[in-house]
Chains A and B, each alone.
Chain A
């Protein structure tokens, strides 16, 4: 491969031919004759990794900015670990530390400064540190390399058997380990040593030093970095230091780690993604390998010696370094000893890239051309990774390497020349490729486009590209709108699924009631505390979770809980991912507002507002951001196989349902633009977005649960793994991913299926990818990826394709994806055939994906913008590190705040309304609104007329008037809004105005809308139709015209109680009640009893009871009444003058006589105690008592039972006087009662 590139660079091979060769599609055409050299014998899969590695190496010095751009490619392994899978894992383990450091090394190592020996040293460190960083470059090169290249080829051919070797060229290669080759990489320490030359900005962060491999050697002093350091990773700090005297160039290979995303890395312990560089060449044709073998063998022998030497050298230089470098940031602590090397400019003296200073233009053009083909043809594992790499080159701040070195030193090896050795060249190359990839670039979000267009380097190298970008940015309507942070909502209780009838027993029902509450309690506790330092889910909530889950087992509530869990998950996490992608770009209007004068101030402000932030790079490992973390931790902590099984079932079911969702093809084309098109199309798009996001979320959790039992922090031992694979291959998988994928390809629904499958597969455990079904699926996905070359517009719409390319590229870079897979040629790929006829439900061709969806699904795409923004800020701020801008402006649309918040509130109210209604109601409303709205546009019918009509017909009959009317109104609003928004976006300004006016005129004058309003009001005034309310019946018993103004029963009871307690004491001295007070109280009692509104049977009974007690106290003379006023009321004395007490008693009897009145406990009056008290109180009291008894009897308030009590009383042994009185009264009473019995047989009850 090297030879091919060499030949190309030397113009021995025509570039066009190479391009043609690269372009050739995978299948079939490879056979077509290729005349020059042995190109036809080569595999593109070998050349591409080589080229990528080559570019990374070439530019390694320049990539200080931002996280590494890994390109996960099969790489050579350390010699000692030859086992395929364990090796791979070995790498991963190592990556946390060693790899990172190595990668940084490579980033900074100036190629020229490395000695040939350093390569050897690298070997050691690879083995020791990471086992991964070794870069094996394709060793073909030696086959074609001229004699002068012997030394490099020697270096390259060091025996590094690589994983790929084993896997790809099966028995043959295994038989000849010597065949395996790899370009040795300078790695680890070796690279550090040369690195000082990088002349980057200082870095003050000592702590960032790599803990791993190089740590020991590190010299605090330097590591001059410019801006972009990954603060998230300690290893990211460029190791500093010793420069190795290296007379000969070696290719520094870089392995770049994916920077772990902040904290959240469930499955991925810092495994690794890999640098761009090390691509192993797969099976090597035997024909060419012969020559190399010899060379390898020779080098192999030398290897040990070299290593030792290098070690020695390294130690020496380390000592030297420590001696010479104090803590101060020395930009140039150790100059590479390479002859001809000049001292670098200090990082302060930043070089401005200058188009006129670009060297190697023809070669750069050639490289760019080849590189572009690789990108356009999806020959690279991740298109966006390459784009990120380019932007890193564009924004590099490191002043490179061996800028002028070549001038003095004739470099004979064309591959050793520093094509990207200067910043000028780097920027030139980047801009060149960006120009070529314009279509891809211009589909990024507006913020990124703006930053690119404003990038002065880009502008100075290609004004035309800048021009195009500016245009693209201006015309781009595609905006990634910040989604509102989801406010926590519960899953609403729906009687249809949640009431008692859905449970097997009362116990189960009540247990679930508790479980629901516990679940939310946990969620709230988590929300409140999980960000506190030291808070751990397991430690704090573990017991509660398991307790609740165990109750579930007892009650058999798993299906219920699984449903709740899943619904809550979707509700909280569906839209969460987008946060962070929008918003952090500075508000473009801010500059406009402030004007140029204030720019300086703004920038100072900006500097104050910036804070370091890690760029995570375009390939972060899978994570559970936001609330997803809760759900993950919950499942992990619960550890309930039953719950997991139920969840698996329901997740699968919903996923497959979602996967089948039909999205209508409404005939839109992409050219219509993102924001326009038929409104029905917009709806379908929205529906698609919702389905897609939900499916991705569910798939991720399905994957999580499925592979949870197999997750290990460390990869299993090789034997264990093989045994596990063998066993698991026999087991049914939870989801037939291959079948799902095949079907989606056939039916052209990849745009929906692939993104969620990717989420599912990203959760694989260590063994997962080696299981037959998943391996096949991964192979198919690879195949799909290759077929999706962005340059080749097939039937798919561009953004659909872009989404798939992005998610697949991500999958290929995350740790779980086997490294060797991508560049394998012998991979048996099942041919996926698109059914010709089955496009009815096809989605791939519909313009469904927009920037919003793209960035929501792939938040890592906003890394481009962060990188560019960091560059902008970095040119102002002197600080090292990346910066995040805290945008001081609100994300909300402009407008008077009150109006805006009112609108927001209305929208929230509407959402809230649907929240507690059955889902079918919402679907109905939306459906009707959609249809009616679209009808309105097409046939000028009116929303307010058709909408409510349809709703009335469609909703169940028992729907309450209020719900019905609200639904109708929401429908009208939605339909109108849809129509209006369609109008506003589709009709030219003039027509639009007319339409709107006409529309509003009609809306205002149309009788149906006010009428509907009126109806609603009426409907609400009526009692709800369903469920007759018993209390309502009582209200009807109020007297006609009752204003319900009577005293409240509680107040009455309190007052009567007060009076009674005054009667019994203890009381204050002189405390008394007046007749007037009592009279007034009784008056109010009467009113309260007649107004039934607030009265319950209990309080009514109590009031009556009080009144009887009051009567007792009156007749017994126990109430401390004030002296009688002389003048009686004229009314009362109208017939015959009665005492005030009797008047009160009369009033009381009046209360009890009301109709209807529940039985009054009058019998209390005729007890021995009362009679005794009355008799002992005196004649007046006896008189009052007789009066009362007579009144009661006349009013027929004395029941038979009371009368019989009286008779019993008279049989008691009373004193003589008393006896006489009692008998007298008894005779009166019995006479009266006889009379009344003659009238009616019963006294009223």
Chain B
């Protein structure tokens, strides 16, 4: 769904106070009932990531690490609970998954027997039951499972969503008898930049030529769109000509301003498709 920038700002403003938990997501949906939950979640996710990017530097210092770890240890001594870490994260306004990572990393560094590595760290985050300290395991687990913006769960969900939308796109294209090359085929041919699909025979959408389609299973806000333009969309144009970007979870409608330049935005698979027709005679 398309949102005006003003609408977007209202929602974004509201998300300032929210934590990345399912409870907060519920609040968001109740506050903005007219919007698709997926759109709201996607907007929240973008805004929350921006928030974390703004503040991460203050969490990522040795002092902060030590402080959080000591605080966790202290709390655990006071009351052995699996919610200590989660509460701590909320208290300092850090993503629970990131907090879990910090503490786990600090914990592993203290362990003499297991040599520390990023790999071990990641696998323990994915499967907390492999953490030697059971209390910590519970705490980490609670953090990751309750985080809807960061962490292994979110990563795998994002991965799944991205793939599903690509498959949906392929389906729609096949439905319309449109032949295309997908990313893997393009890469095999040695293309240096690869959109999700390139149409072998271009089509026209709303009167504009489309050579390629990029599927984005997220909401298109200013920040991410700008990045995508610089990193991807313009590069696609530079190689394959005009194309179409589908933001399945919607976008700020004002961003759809490069149509004349060959980049069109849609929030779903287009219905107005014209193909080369071969009526002779």
| Interface residues, chain A, with chain B CB atoms under 8 Å away | 488-490, 492-493, 495, 498-501, 509-510, 512-513, 516-517, 519-521, 524, 901-902, 905-906, 908-910, 912-913, 915-916, 943-944, 960-963, 966, 969-970, 972-973, 976, 999-1000, 1003-1004, 1009, 1013, 1017, 1020-1021, 1024, 1026-1027, 1029-1031, 1048-1050, 1053-1054, 1057-1058, 1060-1061, 1064-1066, 1068, 1093-1094, 1096, 1098-1099, 1102, 1105, 1161, 1164, 1167-1170
Q: Does the CB pair A499–B189 fall under 8 Å?
A: yes
Q: Does the CB pair B23–A963 fall under 8 Å?
A: no
Q: Which of B146, B160, B190, B280 contacts A1050 (CB 8 A)?
A: B160
- Measured CB to CB, the closest approach of chain A to B172, in angstroms, equals 13
Q: Which of A943, A962, A1068 contacts B280 (CB 8 A)?
A: A943
Q: Does the CB pair A1050–B157 fall under 8 Å?
A: yes
If the complex has contacts A1029-B185, A1096-B159, are A1020 and B179 also in contact, measured as CB distance less than 8 A? yes
Q: Does the CB pair A1066–B83 fall under 8 Å?
A: yes
B2 within 8 A of A: no
Residues of A close to B134: CB separation below 8 A: 1168-1169
If the complex has contacts A905-B204, A962-B179, are A1013 and B160 also in contact, measured as CB distance less than 8 A? no
Residues of B close to A1009: CB separation below 8 A: 280
Q: Which of B86, B201, B261 contacts A963 (CB 8 A)?
A: B201
Q: Does the CB pair A500–B200 fall under 8 Å?
A: no
Considering only residues 227-253 of chain B, those with a C-beta below 8 Å from chain A are 234-235, 237-242
Q: Does the CB pair A910–B276 fall under 8 Å?
A: yes
CB closest chain-A residue, reference B237: A490
A1026 to B182 Cα, complex, angstroms: 12
A355 to B203 Cα, complex, angstroms: 64
A963 to B202 Cα, complex, angstroms: 10
Q: Does the CB pair B82–A1024 fall under 8 Å?
A: no
Q: Which of A961, A1093, A1098 contacts B156 (CB 8 A)?
A: A1098
Residues of A close to B241: CB separation below 8 A: 489-490, 492, 912, 915-916
Interface pick from B3-11, B65-73, B111-119, B191-199: B191-199
If the complex has contacts A909-B276, A1064-B82, are A963 and B200 also in contact, measured as CB distance less than 8 A? yes
Considering only residues 166-191 of chain B, those with a C-beta below 8 Å from chain A are 167, 174, 177-179, 181-182, 184-185, 188-191
Residues of A close to B185: CB separation below 8 A: 1024, 1026-1027, 1029
| Interface residues, chain B, with chain A CB atoms under 8 Å away | 22-23, 82-83, 86, 127, 129, 134, 137-138, 141-142, 145-146, 153, 156-157, 159-161, 163-164, 167, 174, 177-179, 181-182, 184-185, 188-193, 198, 200-204, 207, 209, 211, 234-235, 237-242, 261-262, 274-278, 280-281
Q: Does the CB pair B177–A490 fall under 8 Å?
A: no
Residues of A close to B174: CB separation below 8 A: 1020-1021
Q: Which of B191, B239, B262 contacts A516 (CB 8 A)?
A: B239
Residues of A close to B204: CB separation below 8 A: 905, 908-909
Q: Does the CB pair B234–A520 fall under 8 Å?
A: yes
Q: Which of A976, A1053, A1098 contacts B153 (CB 8 A)?
A: A1053
Q: Does the CB pair A517–B235 fall under 8 Å?
A: yes
- Measured CB to CB, the closest approach of chain A to B260, in angstroms, equals 9
Residues of B close to A1066: CB separation below 8 A: 23, 83, 86, 146
Q: Does the CB pair B234–A1094 fall under 8 Å?
A: no
CB closest chain-B residue, reference A975: B280
Q: Does the CB pair A966–B192 fall under 8 Å?
A: no
Residues of B close to A495: CB separation below 8 A: 189-191
- Measured CB to CB, the closest approach of chain A to B41, in angstroms, equals 9
A398 to B201 Cα, complex, angstroms: 62
Residues of B close to A1099: CB separation below 8 A: 156, 159-160, 163
A1064 to B161 Cα, complex, angstroms: 25
- Measured CB to CB, the closest approach of chain A to B266, in angstroms, equals 18
27 contacts between A and B (CB under 8 A): A492-B241, A493-B193, A495-B190, A512-B192, A513-B193, A516-B235, A516-B238, A516-B239, A915-B202, A944-B280, A972-B280, A973-B278, A1004-B281, A1009-B280, A1013-B278, A1017-B177, A1020-B174, A1021-B174, A1024-B179, A1024-B181, A1053-B160, A1061-B146, A1066-B83, A1098-B160, A1102-B153, A1105-B127, A1169-B129
- Measured CB to CB, the closest approach of chain A to B144, in angstroms, equals 9
Residues of B close to A1027: CB separation below 8 A: 184-185, 188
CB closest chain-A residue, reference B152: A1102
If the complex has contacts A520-B237, A1065-B83, are A970 and B179 also in contact, measured as CB distance less than 8 A? no
- Measured CB to CB, the closest approach of chain A to B235, in angstroms, equals 5
Residues of B close to A1054: CB separation below 8 A: 157
Q: Does the CB pair B159–A1098 fall under 8 Å?
A: yes
Q: Which of B145, B192, B193 contacts A1064 (CB 8 A)?
A: B145
Q: Which of B146, B184, B191, B209 contacts A908 (CB 8 A)?
A: B209
Q: Does the CB pair B281–A969 fall under 8 Å?
A: no
CB closest chain-A residue, reference B238: A520
A960 to B200 Cα, complex, angstroms: 9
Q: Does the CB pair A1057–B82 fall under 8 Å?
A: no
Q: Which of A500, A966, A1004, A1167 contacts B129 (CB 8 A)?
A: A1167
Q: Does the CB pair A960–B211 fall under 8 Å?
A: no
Q: Does the CB pair B278–A517 fall under 8 Å?
A: no
Q: Does the CB pair B191–A1094 fall under 8 Å?
A: no
A910 to B280 Cα, complex, angstroms: 14
Interface Cβ pair total, 8 Å cutoff: 195
- Measured CB to CB, the closest approach of chain A to B141, in angstroms, equals 6
Q: Does the CB pair B261–A976 fall under 8 Å?
A: no
CB closest chain-A residue, reference B231: A517
Q: Which of A909, A976, A999, A1048 contacts B202 (CB 8 A)?
A: A909
Residues of A close to B83: CB separation below 8 A: 1065-1066
CB closest chain-B residue, reference A1170: B129
CB closest chain-A residue, reference B204: A905
Q: Does the CB pair A901–B207 fall under 8 Å?
A: yes
A318 to B174 Cα, complex, angstroms: 85
Q: Does the CB pair B207–A905 fall under 8 Å?
A: yes
Q: Does the CB pair A1068–B23 fall under 8 Å?
A: yes
Residues of A close to B142: CB separation below 8 A: 1064-1065
Residues of A close to B242: CB separation below 8 A: 912
Residues of A close to B237: CB separation below 8 A: 490, 520
CB closest chain-A residue, reference B192: A513
Residues of A close to B157: CB separation below 8 A: 1050, 1053-1054, 1057
A976 to B241 Cα, complex, angstroms: 28
Residues of B close to A962: CB separation below 8 A: 179, 200-201
A972 to B281 Cα, complex, angstroms: 10
CB closest chain-A residue, reference B239: A493
A396 to B179 Cα, complex, angstroms: 64
**Chain A CB within 10 Å — which of B185, B189, B276 has the most?**
B276
A1049 to B166 Cα, complex, angstroms: 13
Q: Which of B138, B182, B211, B238 contacts A916 (CB 8 A)?
A: B211
> Top 5 closest A-B pairs, CB basis?
A499-B190, A962-B179, A493-B239, A1003-B281, A1050-B160
Q: Does the CB pair A961–B238 fall under 8 Å?
A: no
Q: Does the CB pair B276–A1102 fall under 8 Å?
A: no
If the complex has contacts A499-B189, A909-B202, A1161-B127, are A1169 and B137 also in contact, measured as CB distance less than 8 A? yes
CB closest chain-B residue, reference A1063: B145
**Chain B CB within 10 Å — which of A489, A492, A1024, A1094 has the most?**
A1094
Residues of B close to A521: CB separation below 8 A: 234
**Chain A CB within 10 Å — which of B156, B160, B240 has the most?**
B160
Q: Does the CB pair B167–A1093 fall under 8 Å?
A: yes
CB closest chain-B residue, reference A943: B280
Q: Does the CB pair B275–A1102 fall under 8 Å?
A: no
If the complex has contacts A492-B239, A1029-B185, are A966 and B276 also in contact, measured as CB distance less than 8 A? yes
CB closest chain-A residue, reference B242: A912
Residues of A close to B211: CB separation below 8 A: 912, 915-916
CB closest chain-B residue, reference A1009: B280
A1148 to B191 Cα, complex, angstroms: 44
Q: Which of B145, B184, B201, B234 contacts A517 (CB 8 A)?
A: B234
Residues of A close to B184: CB separation below 8 A: 1027, 1029-1030
A1017 to B178 Cα, complex, angstroms: 9
Residues of A close to B202: CB separation below 8 A: 909, 912-913, 915-916
